[in-house]
Amino acid sequence: MEQLSATAYVILGFVRNEPRSGYEIKAVVDNSTRFFWAASYGQIYPELKRLAEAGLIVGSDVPTGGRRRTVYEITADGEEELRAWLRQEPETFEMRDEGLLKLFFADALPREEAVAILRSMRDKRRAVNAQLQALKQMKGELDDPFPMIVLQGGLEFTEWFADWCERMEARLLDSALDERSG
């Protein structure tokens, strides 16, 4: 069998403790891992089929009323596969930040407009921080501590980033002052 995609492991991870439908997987991804690993229906549904064919999950029809619905559970092989993946060194780390890119080239703009980039970045990070706070309220105490550790990391990261934006904004405004007076 060829290598599984990272999305495959997201699915394995989420069906490990409770059986879930594709729709439910999408919903839970959108409220948790999406901040560092997103997944769309276009990835989830085909991947569910592949994983079922490979015997790593099994689906069963559990309609809600007359609405057809397939929920998937992990198999012993699937658990094995998930653990084997977890034991490998993480490889992918990517960040694509249009704000940082604009800031990088901000010399092409007058200073006040460069500062506006930082302000916009700060506002965005604070908004995400608020989303994460809301998520945190929703979750009760779980016996699995890891999702909360990661969420906490997201909160700290967004705070750090927003603060950094403010500090850099102050620094730019200071140096603008220097230019005028020095």
Partner DNA sequence: ACAGGCATGTAAATAGTTACATGATTCG
Partner DNA sequence: CGAATCATGTAACTATTTACATGCCTGT
Does 113 contact a second copy by CB under 8 A?
yes
Place of tokens 């015997």: 55
Spatial contact of 5 and 47, defined as CB atoms under 8 Å apart: yes
Does 106 contact a second copy by CB under 8 A?
yes
Does 52 contact a second copy by CB under 8 A?
no
Does 39 contact a second copy by CB under 8 A?
no
Distance (Å, rounded) from C-alpha 126 to C-alpha 146? 23
CB count within 10 Å of CB 160 equals 11
165 exposure class (CB count in 10 Å sphere: 0-12, 13-18, 19+): buried
Instruction: Closer to a second copy by CB, 69 or 159: give it.
Output: 159
Instruction: Closer to DNA by CB, 69 or 111: give it.
Output: 69
Binds a second copy by CB under 8 A, chosen from 23, 28, 33, 73: 33
Token representation of residue 128: 């995400």
For Cα atoms 175, 176, 181, give the angle at the middle one, nearest 5 degrees.
90
Does 60 contact DNA by CB under 7 A?
no
Residues found near a second copy in the complex (CB under 8 A): 6, 9-10, 13, 16, 32-33, 35-38, 79, 82-83, 85-87, 89-109, 113-114, 116-117, 120-121, 124, 144-147, 149-150, 153, 156-157, 160-161, 164, 168, 171-172, 175
